[in-house]
């Protein structure tokens, strides 16, 4: 019981700390890049959907690692399941 | 241990899901092929394509998916996802062949859609047959 209360207080304090850090230091938003993307994505990539232009051309690294995350999670799932896994 | 869920099969659900099959496929293919022009793309279309196998799991719970085969296929698709943008985007081929930009987007959406569909199908079958309670 005491342990649960202590863990709850610790989690709340950590939550408040993270929230404080997030509010005290707002991320600077670089409007130049987004303005460039919005105005030039059709000529640059040939896509008419700006989201597709960004995730398949401007920020391809992001997509590659996003696909890798799915692959790695499936490898982990097949590895750690006891029944019917790869062993 | 394998969970026996064949006794809970409903004829109404089976027939309705059978009617829905082609619409799911058409909708997924539409989302993937038009991902560069309209909202959508490979990830979303792949998830819809995986619901096809989820619907099939509800109707016909048979564990006849070869996990190794689809897993290897997914790895090969990921190799394509690494290789094609590596040549076309990172190496700068897109600045010399402007006409290939749109086919590149369509091709990448198809590959990503297939990869996501296979991956989510493995997840659905795994959890459905071995981790279901």
| Residue contact B130–A63, C-beta within 8 A | no
Domain total for chain B?
Answer: 1
| pLDDT reading at A87 higher than 50 | no
pLDDT computed for residue A42 by the predictor: 87
- Per DSSP, B61 falls in state -
How far apart are the CA of B2 and the nearest CA of chain A, in angstroms?
A: 9
Q: Is residue B26 part of a domain?
A: yes
Task: Measure CB to CB from residue A49 to each of B38, B82, B129 and give the nearest one.
Answer: B38
Cα–Cα distance measured from residue B38 to residue A11, given in angstroms and rounded to the nearest whole number: 43
User: What's the CA dihedral at B95, B97, B102, B103 to 10 degrees?
Assistant: -140
Q: Is residue B1 part of a domain?
A: no
What interface predicted TM-score (ipTM) does this complex get? 0.78
Residue B121 near residue B53, CB atoms below 8 Å? yes
Nearest residue in A to B80, CA atom: A64
| DSSP H or E run through B39 | none
pLDDT for B108-128, tens place per residue?
999 999 999 999 998 888 888
Task: Measure CB to CB from residue B67 to each of A45, A46, A78 and give the nearest one.
Answer: A78
- What are the domain boundaries of chain A? 8-80
Helix ranges restricted to H, chain B: 11-33, 42-59, 67-85, 101-130
Q: Is residue B116 part of a domain?
A: yes
Domain that holds residue B99: 6-130
């Amino acid at each position: 019981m005491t342990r649960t209360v202590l863990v709850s207080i610790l989690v709340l304090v950590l939550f408040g700390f993270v929230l404080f850090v997030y509010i005290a230091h707002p991320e600077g938003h670089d409007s130049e890049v987004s303005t460039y993307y919005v105005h030039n994505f059709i000529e640059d990539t040939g896509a008419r959907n700006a989201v597709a232009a960004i995730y398949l051309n401007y920020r391809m690294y992001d997509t590659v690692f996003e696909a890798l995350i799915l692959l790695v999670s499936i490898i982990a799932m097949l590895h750690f399941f006891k029944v019917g896994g790869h062993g | 241990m394998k969970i026996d869920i064949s006794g809970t099969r409903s004829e109404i659900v089976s027939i309705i899901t059978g009617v829905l099959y082609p619409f799911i496929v058409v909708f997924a293919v539409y989302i993937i092929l038009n991902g560069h022009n309209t909202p959508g793309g490979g990830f979303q279309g792949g998830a819809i394509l995986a619901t096809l196998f989820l619907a099939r799991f509800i109707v016909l719970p048979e564990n006849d998916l070869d996990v190794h085969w689809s897993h290897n296929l997914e790895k090969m698709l990921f190799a394509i996802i690494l290789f094609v943008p590596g040549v076309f985007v990172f190496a700068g081929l897109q600045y010399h062949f402007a006409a290939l930009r749109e086919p590149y987007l369509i091709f990448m959406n198809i590959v990503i859609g297939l990869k996501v569909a296979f991956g989510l199908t493995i997840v659905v079958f795994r959890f459905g047959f071995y981790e279901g309670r």
